[in-house]
Structure 1
């Protein structure tokens, strides 16, 4: 099954035409005008030249675009994403050919049959960061061991919701025969449930990189016998009722078409109605449905609708047993985005029953 999975990865550009060159002698303002004219720019000398061009592009866009509110920040990031991805860099024999470039193992691991190609500079930056996380691992407060997220797999950079779930698991006294983890991601919730004595966790995800990465990470360890994976939407092929269903859904409604890793961050209109309908069929009479959520969308004025509150008010399927809330930790000093709303953000753990 795993060998048949088509991995999400940046599409390699085999050849390019009509491209401008950027090196230490190029006028940066001219290069930015070239990008704004929808023409590609190729980094040819030093890796740092690409970093410089993107830094100047950000400054240029911040002067042009308002960047104060949450919605304005989303607009700014959209324009930056479009223009920055016109900055290209060349790969030869699975290595970047510019000087002083990082060695990125994904170039060979993800493209075994294509050694020479071009990618956008932001894609290379993403591959480089992902390689460091994968190679070195990430420490998570609620787990003994590091996780090694595969390329294109969402993993948390904040842990408030994981700590909330950890505390709930410590107090959980129900049966621990089976559980279903919907949208397993980097696997942390499943690992927590195994740590707390669940005999079998059925874990699904719509992202093929998640399934391949967790399969590789677990190998032939005890985890691989405790956690069964399936590539599929919501509950996938798992159709046996269970005593616990866990879901850490996206926290923001989509304002654009979503694909790949964005599906871990943004939800479409059908996600919650489809989930609750399917969960009703699979939750045992005395079972628990646990959702990890946030008031992020409401406090940033993205939407006034809270999908879990809406289900409880209108769905007629579940009862609220308890909702635990926790104020999030302050934003990192390294975070440059305006995040004044973080003081109002609360992480939520909802426990629903039949």
Structure 2
């Protein structure tokens, strides 16, 4: 966190916080209901942050008016799918910077504006305990409040016959294709899977599906502390805490999970003692099934909130493939759940994917496909509509050569 400064009868300051990586505002002016949208938009484009002191609902109206001035897509975007994708991403970044200049002050996570909702619980869940005044973008605060509502009501997952409750900053299972594929794919080892790993578990939805399918023990991992807390919450809600254990932050479970009936479900576990003269090295744990649904786009995340979508340099995909052969028990399989959107955008080729599989000492023993059902695949106004409508999500069944 850094500090913003402004004058309001006297010089004031507050810590600046941005989950989406918005830069620290260098100039801050106080704004209220008297500020016209045209002036607010001009100041925001110039890089001036507007600390809102008026009515909360008027702030939301001002935000919508500024959004209309920004527009909904990159002007004149055309060319190849990759060029359109990059143009749209640059435009979304520009839009976020402009709209992010309308900011509010949280004091002990309370929002002291007329007609403002009580946001304290939502902020506590997203940010942790309050610690003095902090300034955030109104767009982010609205996202925090919306995430609290998602967390409370949950997302119905037909493959589970239950609801998954996503936490703030954790990718919600609103797209059902990849979950259905994991629910339908034939289990290896004749269906009698003792141990499975779910790498990059997120909300824990795939780990829960595997547990409901009869896998005796599921070890779920994630690099994100938020995701690990979210997965543990969902495992507990579903009554699967005796089957699913959540660890991290490494991609694959470490030696601390080897040959134990249960892995710790509380705070992250420190590795055990280093091997000495009287201790033999503990081998890496293995499983009969390893499932990985990495981010589908090989690109650099702008912030931690992008980690569910962008896989920088394809690092998680390569880590899964390169580590799979030594982590599978004989007769086991690795399931790679991956959309071909990156291929259709020209960001990765099918040949590159298959070469990575072969280079990791693996072979493809089967593949299941699913077509998209999400609303964006039907949005004809989306500049990438044709690509999204043709997208296919696949579950690649991999085995050791």
State the TM-score, normalizing by the size of structure 1.
Answer: 0.87
Determine whether 1:225 maps to 2:234: no
Q: 2:213 aligns to what?
A: 196
Partner SS for 2:162: coil
Q: For 1:262-273, list aligned pairs within 5 A.
A: 262-269=306-313, 270-273=315-318
Separation in 2, partners of 1:85, 1:291: 36
Counterpart of 2:172 in 1: which secondary structure? coil
In the alignment, which of 283, 287, 303 is matched to residue 332 of structure 2?
Answer: 287
* Pairing partner for 1:107 from 119, 123, 143: 123
Structure 1, gaps ≥5 residues long: 1-7
Deviations 1:4-26 (A, max 9, x none): xxxx9849x9x998522333221
Match of 1:252 in 2: 297
1:307 deviates by 5.2
Question: How far off is 1:48 after superposition?
Answer: 2.5
CA distance 1:302–1:278, shift in 2 (3 Å):
closer
In structure 2, the residue matched to 1:325 is: 369
Matches of 2:193 and 2:163, distance apart in 1: 24
**Are the counterparts in 2 of residues 295 and 346 from structure 1 also a CA contact under 8 Å?**
yes
Equivalences, count:
344
Residue deviations 1:315-336, cap 9 Å, x none?
Answer: 1511110111122126357896
Give the corresponding residue for 1:19.
28
Could you tell me which residue of structure 2 aligns to residue 120 of structure 1? 137
1:156: Cα distance to partner? 2.3
Aligned twin of 1:5: none
* Paired residue secondary structure (1:223): coil
* Residue in structure 1 matched with residue 168 of structure 2 by the alignment: 151
Cα pair 2:74 2:91 within 8 Å, conserved? no
Quote the Cα distance in structure 1 between the aligned partners of 2:232 and 2:253: 17
Backbone CA RMSD of aligned residues: 2.9
Which of 341, 347, 354 lines up with 1:302 in the alignment? 347
Structure 1 residues 243 and 249: alpha-carbon distance in aligned structure 2, compared to 1, 3 A threshold: same
Distance 1:183 1:335 in 2: 32
Aligned partner of 1:240 in structure 2 is 285
Q: Following TM superposition, by how much is the alpha carbon of 1:61 offset from its aligned partner in structure 2, in angstroms?
A: 2.5
CA positional deviation for 1:171: 9.1
Q: Which residue of 1 aligns with 2:4?
A: none
Native 8 Å contact 1:176 1:199 kept in 2: yes
Q: Which residue of 2 aligns with 1:3?
A: none
> CA offsets per residue over residues 106-156 of structure 1, 9 Å max, x none?
223434242532211121011011100111111111112211112211112
List runs of 5+ in structure 2 lacking aligned partners.
1-16, 79-83, 258-283
> Would you say the 8 A contact 2:204–2:232 is kept in 1?
no
CA change 1:219–1:322 in 2 (3 A) is closer
Alignment match, 1:346: 392
TM-fit CA distance, 1:301? 3.1
C-alpha distance in structure 1 between counterparts of 2:196 and 2:285, whole Å:
10
SS at match of 1:202: strand
Q: Which has the larger radius of gyration?
A: 2
Answer yes or no: is the 8 Å Cα contact 2:325–2:360 preserved in 1.
no
